[in-house]
Structure 1
Amino acid sequence: MSSTAGQRVHGGTDGLGAAPYDFSTNSHPAGPCPQALAAVQAADATRYPDPAYTRLRAALVAFHGVVPGRIVLASSASEFIFRLSAWVARQGGRHVHVPAHAYGDYLHGAQAWGLEPVASPDAADLVWACEPSSPLGQAHTDWPRRLDHPQAPLLALDCAYAPLRLQGQPTLGTAQLERVWRLYSPNKSLGLTGVRAAYAVAPADAQPAAAALDALAPSWVIGAHGEAMLRAWTEPGVQQWLQASLDPLRQWKARQLELLQGLGWDCQPSDSHYFCARTPQALDLGALRAAGIKLRDATSFGLPGWYRLGTLPPQAQDALAAAWRAQGGDNTHPPVPV
């Protein structure tokens, strides 16, 4: 999601429902993960979850190999973004730095709590980063100069797409990651974006801050279905499914890039399964949507004329190519074989 003039712009389901061929969302195109879906479907929605989330916290502590007290649960990544912004403002923070092209809730949450955006990450009290980034799927480049300085800003790294990295390496090493807040929202990687639940791993020395952020959350911050999804996320079988899905996803992405580039589209490099592309002539998004195809206009990300596309299976790719040709696009290149 991104924000334009106070409006929240997003991909995925819209007023017309779910598009049959939805390139506008970054959800895993091979999902849902069967094991995670079964866990969500088996969740007992007739009862409150354990308000302390004892078993969930223990599973996440073991999964990340951290000490208890470093896990902060959230009803979604967006909810945590707003809560962290509120906590920074309550601590006297005044300034925020966000990536030039980024998820809109970083800035929306900061502005809701009176944090003013600044150009330099070293001048901020709160710095947001995302890697692979959205919408570009590239490495984050605008880090504070010294992450280990006592007066360094609070750095929050959105890891929403890290499990879906198809190439490249993370910028931060293990020791550096121990000094930043890491935000995880597994619903994208599991193909279950309708289930809202997330969590953050606090820096190694930030257990008091983690406790304060926990105290800012309402009771039962995660419902039964979100709890079931997060517990499933930590299970070996789910992680094995995810890893096994990446090679086919790489093949789908390579095919989609070849197809679109053959049609004259300019496609940006990306480390994840989504990327930004620009067409040689304007697209009629309304006509595409009527044909069951949805793309994400990247204007609200600060990229007018570009579109963010998630990778979809070959059938969806061919439908997009046919719709593009129907709008008068290049029809001189042969189709890409499956």
Structure 2
Amino acid sequence: MNIPPRMHGGTDALGAAPFDFSTNSNGCGPCPMALEAVQAADASRYPDPHYTQLRQRLGRFHGVESERVVLATSASEFIFRFTAWMKQGGTTAVWIPATAYGDYAHAANAWGMHRCTHPHEAELLWACEPSSPLGQAHAPWPAWLIEGHQASQHLVLDCAYAPLRLSGSPSLTETQREQVWQLYSPNKALALTGVRAAYAIAPLHALQAVCQLDALAPSWPVGAHGVAMLQAWTQDATQDWLRQSLVTLRAWKVAQLQLLQDLGWQCLPSNTNFFCAVPPVGTELNALLDQLRAQGIKLRDAASLGLPGHVRISVQGAEAQRVLANALTALQPTMEVTQ
């Protein structure tokens, strides 16, 4: 399987960028309630190894039985563990969207799976809605899911950006979502990406699979700080803060899109707090990204996400937008490819 090298937004060898547009973290955060909970976490004790109360909270939050909740160190850890579980069961073929988070392919490659062209050819399917890096509705869904047929396929729906949806609506009905694995990593919505904790909701009638996935995990996959964040995630005050942050992000997004379009960038449509964009014709992208990074501004090259020539940009506040606009304006004459 031909996959790009691992690349991520956020902190790099130069440290944390003062103006970081490279991750999809909520620009309004961190969420005060979640941050307070994390800071107050008792790191002197082991968490409950069965996460009894946390599973119950998450189950009530999603309206499902707590037995359907699978805890994970992070979304990436779950991606690798789920792939290992599928390989253990004999899976050899995986389907991954053309533009997608790289760890789906990295996990498949690590376990010797081959990547299929069409969803119906694979036993394991990955989807993300809203999608990354485009922030759009997912397509295509496998026919069995839309038509309501049973299939010997496992589809994992990555819901990392569902809490950060600014427009549009989910493509799948609640009944359809009950047929797939739903993976949640709230640290992006809470702007606490340094806290690694995630969970999945198993499909109906998949309790044996839950037990098998739990058996593949190490003891205490989620530490005290991750437990505190996930507990805070289920609280009404946290969800109220999140809803209000979406109002702010919508306004910031309008301004940021206009800023880039005025500078000659082509911005792709999205439903989220991030979008992909193409710089003005003639721009040498790598040089531009390096120059911006030297000034404390970081954008995400989308090549590793399946979109070479594009950047993925998260929505940030007025000060960050002003700094970005000034830098792009100053650099524009020097960034053109020599003809």
Structures share fold, TM-score greater than 0.5: yes
Q: Which amino acid aligns with 1:93?
A: T
| Shift of residue 67, structure 1, vs aligned partner | 1.4
Aligned to 1:336: none
Q: Which amino acid aligns with 2:116?
A: V
Aligned to 2:313: 309
Aligned partners of 1:144 and 1:153 also within 8 Å: no
| Shift of residue 210, structure 1, vs aligned partner | 0.9
Aligned to 2:337: none
Give the percent of matched residue pairs that are identical in Structure 1 and Structure 2: 60
Partner-residue secondary structure (3-state), 1:106: helix
Runs of 4+ in 1 over 4 A off after TM superposition: 3-6
Aligned to 1:32: 30
Q: Deviations along 1:252-288, whole A, 9 cap, x unmatched?
A: 0000001110111000000001000011123421111
Aligned to 2:211: 211
Aligned to 1:70: 68
Aligned partners of 2:26 and 2:189 also within 8 Å: yes
- 1:192 and 2:168 correspond: no
Structure with the larger helix share: 2
Aligned to 2:293: 289
Aligned to 1:334: none
Aligned to 2:142: 144
Aligned partners of 1:127 and 1:153 also within 8 Å: yes
Q: Which amino acid aligns with 2:131?
A: S
Partner-residue secondary structure (3-state), 1:15: coil
Q: Deviations along 1:286-337, whole A, 9 cap, x unmatched?
A: 111111100111112221211000001011111111111111359xxxxxxx
Aligned partners of 2:267 and 2:275 also within 8 Å: yes
- RMSD after superposition: 1.4
How many pairs does the alignment contain? 328
Equivalent residues in 2 for 1:110-129, closer than 5 Å: 110-129=108-127
Equivalent residues in 2 for 1:17-166, closer than 5 Å: 17-147=15-145, 148-166=148-166
Aligned partners of 2:3 and 2:105 also within 8 Å: no
Q: Distance in 2 between matches of 1:128 and 1:217?
A: 20
Q: Distance in 2 between matches of 1:171 and 1:329?
A: 43
Partner-residue secondary structure (3-state), 2:10: coil
Q: Which amino acid aligns with 1:154?
A: H
Aligned partners of 1:146 and 1:152 also within 8 Å: no
- Where does structure 2 lack aligned partners over 5 or more consecutive residues? 335-339
| Shift of residue 7, structure 1, vs aligned partner | 2.2
Q: Distance in 2 between matches of 1:14 and 1:124?
A: 35
TM-score normalized by the length of structure 1: 0.95
| Shift of residue 150, structure 1, vs aligned partner | 2.4
Q: Which amino acid aligns with 1:172?
A: L
Structure 1, 21-30 or 300-309: larger mean CA deviation:
300-309
| Shift of residue 107, structure 1, vs aligned partner | 0.8
- Where does structure 1 lack aligned partners over 5 or more consecutive residues? 331-338
| Shift of residue 45, structure 1, vs aligned partner | 0.6
TM-score normalized by the length of structure 2: 0.94
Residues 4 and 187 (structure 1), Cα distance of their counterparts in 2 relative to 1, 3 Å cut? farther
Q: Distance in 1 between matches of 2:70 and 2:181?
A: 10
Aligned to 1:228: 228
Partner-residue secondary structure (3-state), 1:199: strand
Residues 250 and 6 (structure 1), Cα distance of their counterparts in 2 relative to 1, 3 Å cut? closer
Structure 1, 112-121 or 252-261: larger mean CA deviation:
112-121
Equivalent residues in 2 for 1:203-282, closer than 5 Å: 203-280=203-280, 281-282=283-284
Q: Which amino acid aligns with 1:64?
A: H
Residues 5 and 88 (structure 1), Cα distance of their counterparts in 2 relative to 1, 3 Å cut? closer
| Shift of residue 151, structure 1, vs aligned partner | 2.3
